[in-house]
Structure 1
């Protein structure tokens, strides 16, 4: 009897430490290409977000590029912003602690923390980044918000529906962002979603990042 009770206690401790793994994901087509992008979040002992770009056609499934990170702090420093160059040849993905460039021509991804040269800031971006004080920046760009924010349910979309010029970068088009969807009681296990540019503003400096 004591052995059985002991085993139940051990099982309970293991469950509380590791718990069941839960995951949510969302996939959208990368407009104008034969690729699609999947963003996912998983919760277990720790929390991870990742995104992958792969051809939409099943026969090309071997061509797969995945980027993943462990996350900390609410809203878990999560989210991925998506940009496209004006000539449609390259896509950029910003995570706040890294940035990546995807080349559609050969299906390759490169990047990380300070691993690639980012597109230059435009005139507005240059003026904003030179402002040192928080209040000054907020006054200059009152509608600007950071990448690490929850997505409101009303902002959700399933496709890239509009492609405005970036507010902060030269020769880039903003497509949208992925992230955690706000719920009545934010908690581990929240669903993830996509906000097209037509339903949500571009994150402030969505490709700029800082390495911890």
Structure 2
């Protein structure tokens, strides 16, 4: 009887693990020419969660975010990627949390403190200080981080010469990860380079709830 119970539990656990693997999608890109790769994953279970991880450059287990539960799943998924002009700091935005990687120390911190938001550009300041209803007038044709990747948008790579951010004064915009528009779970993830669409508006500004 005991063996039967243990066997049944093992089958349940194995089935759960297999389901988790089946319902997880990920995409990786090289984080410029510095020996690092950046992977972003979305997992569907009872809810929907997202996570990213850095690998390479001597990391056995690189810095990563925890699994983050997505509000109004899966529509509010995505990760924006920036770096400082001096190439010594990377910023990863989910809107739920801001992650900052210090290349000199290799340490990454997670923050919900608005004081950690990078300095805004003049446009970024105007938008941050404006009511949400007025922002579209100030910044028409904007892109939001929380949007699907359209099926005709190809998956790209971080460009050799990324553009200066429109919203943050000392940063360059490297691109974003997003979920491809689909009718069900388990959709593909792609990395959308800056030449594919506009930079998402204020995607490093934190709204932790």
TM-score (norm 1): 0.82
Q: Does 79-88 or 37-46 show the bigger shift?
A: 37-46
Deviation of the 1:19 alpha carbon? 9.3
CA-to-aligned-CA distance 1:80-129 (integer Å, 9 cap, x gap) = 10001000001000001110101122221102322862211111111222
**How many corresponding residue pairs?**
192
Counterparts of residues 1-212 of structure 1 (less than 5 Å): 20-21=19-20, 22-55=23-56, 60-67=58-65, 68-114=67-113, 117-134=116-133, 136-161=134-159, 162-183=161-182, 185=183, 187-212=184-209
Could you tell me whether the CA contact under 8 Å between 1:80 and 1:179 is conserved in 2?
yes
Q: Secondary structure at the match of 2:42?
A: strand
Q: Secondary structure at the match of 2:64?
A: strand
RMSD: 2.3
Could you tell me whether the CA contact under 8 Å between 1:145 and 1:203 is conserved in 2?
yes
Could you tell me which runs of 5 or more consecutive residues in structure 1 were left unpaired when the two chains were aligned.
Answer: 1-10
CA 1:117 to 1:72, structure 2 compared with 1: closer, same or farther past 3 Å? closer
TM-score (norm 2): 0.83
Could you tell me whether the CA contact under 8 Å between 1:80 and 1:178 is conserved in 2?
yes
Deviation of the 1:55 alpha carbon? 1.1
Could you tell me which runs of 5 or more consecutive residues in structure 2 were left unpaired when the two chains were aligned.
Answer: 1-10
Q: Matched residues in 2 for 1:72 and 1:190: separation?
A: 17
Q: Matched residues in 1 for 2:28 and 2:84: separation?
A: 21
Q: Secondary structure at the match of 2:167?
A: coil
